[in-house]
């Protein structure tokens, strides 16, 4: 049984009372007698704090069984990084019917950008990934219309001032791979940041493909529109 509307963290006795109609005083007796199960063990503490992914039972009947889910997806061009859109396909539309329930995107990509997307139903995890105090590096492969020079490398490394937001970007590492392609490493996600930075040179970005978020790299076995769960090693490598 899912509990998508349940707060992220909550007291076990309050949860049981809300889901069974048993008053809080009688819930104490249920806990004391060991009739409440929490993650496979008897729960007896009145004020125990649990969360939306805790497995909770009463007399063997499941009250909540809501599993955390963490996916990597290879986003194709022309798909919206959103859970719903009236005009275009979304990344949620790429998932199997039962997989996309309650998932959200941890770090978006533009409509025409491709590559690694992370999706989850764990809001605390996605907020940690987005935390500005503990920035996670993102890596992109970029192709551009005009030839690249070392001027780009220096300008990206200094950061660029965006007057509309009145901010200066953090230093960005640009590695030239060929005349018209580069690898870009950054720890921010400003609006169209990479395209705008190349735009300072009047150099149009032709393709933008994300290949890594932190230590998690896009699985080369995943074709466009394909996805898979993150491994435990991948999860442990992220904040």
Report the run of H or E that residue 12 belongs to, with start and end: helix 12-20
Using alpha carbons, list the distances in angstroms from residue 32 to 13, 21, 66, 212: 11, 18, 25, 49
Q: Which of 101-118 are b and which e, b meaning 16 or more Cβ less than 10 Å from the residue's Cβ? A: eebebbbebbeebbbbbb
Q: What is the mean pLDDT of residues 45-54?
A: 86
* Residue 21 in tokens: 């109609």
Q: Where are the domains of the chain?
A: 9-64, 70-134+223-239, 137-213
Q: What pLDDT, in 10s, does the model give residues 94-149?
A: 999 877 668 999 989 999 999 999 999 998 899 889 887 789 999 999 999 999 99
8 A C-beta contact, residue 12 and residue 42: no
Q: Which CATH class is domain 70-134+223-239?
A: alpha beta
Share of the chain above pLDDT 70, in %: 96
Assess contact for 123 and 70: CB atoms under 8 A.
no
What is the pLDDT at residue 3?
41
The C-alpha R_g of the chain, in whole angstroms, comes to 23
**Common-topology check for domains 70-134+223-239 and 137-213:** yes
pLDDT value at residue 46: 79
Tens-digit pLDDT profile for residues 177-196: 999 999 999 999 888 999 99
> Catalytic one among 110, 122, 166, 179?
110
Residue 1 has pLDDT above 70, yes or no: no
Residue 236 bears catalytic tag: no
Counting other chains too, the contacts that 58-67 makes at CB distance below 8 Å and 24 or more residues apart are 58/16, 58/20, 58/30, 59/35, 62/1, 63/1, 63/15, 63/16, 63/19, 63/20, 64/1, 64/2, 64/3, 64/6, 64/15, 64/19, 65/1, 65/2, 66/1, 66/2, 66/3, 66/4, 66/6
Mean pLDDT within 41-67: 88
Q: Which CATH superfamily groups domain 137-213?
A: Alpha-L RNA-binding motif (3.30.70.1560)
- The pLDDT of residue 100 is 66
**Homologous superfamily of 9-64 in CATH?**
RNA-binding S4 domain (3.10.290.10)
């Amino acid at each position: 049984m899912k509990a998508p509307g349940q707060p992220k963290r909550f007291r076990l006795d309050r949860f049981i009372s809300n889901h069974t109609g048993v008053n809080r005083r009688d819930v104490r007796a249920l806990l004391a007698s060991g009739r409440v199960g929490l993650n496979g063990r008897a729960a007896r503490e009145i004020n125990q704090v649990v969360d939306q992914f805790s497995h909770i039972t009463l007399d063997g009947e499941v009250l909540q069984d809501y599993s955390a889910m963490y996916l990597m997806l290879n986003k194709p061009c022309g798909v919206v990084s959103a859970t719903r859109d009236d005009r275009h396909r979304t990344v949620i539309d790429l998932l199997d019917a039962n997989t996309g329930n309650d998932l959200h995107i941890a770090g978006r990509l533009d409509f025409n950008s491709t590559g690694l997307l992370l999706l989850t139903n764990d809001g605390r995890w996605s907020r940690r990934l987005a935390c500005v105090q503990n920035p996670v590096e993102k890596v992109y492969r970029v192709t551009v219309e005009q030839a690249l020079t070392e001027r780009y490398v220096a300008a990206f490394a200094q950061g660029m001032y965006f007057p509309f937001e009145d901010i200066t970007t953090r230093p960005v590492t640009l590695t030239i791979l060929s005349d018209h392609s580069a690898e870009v490493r950054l720890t921010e996600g400003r609006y169209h940041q990479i395209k705008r930075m190349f735009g300072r040179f009047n150099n149009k970005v032709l393709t933008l493909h994300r290949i890594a978020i932190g230590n998690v790299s896009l699985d080369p076995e995943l074709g466009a529109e394909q996805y898979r769960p993150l491994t435990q090693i991948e999860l442990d490598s992220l904040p």
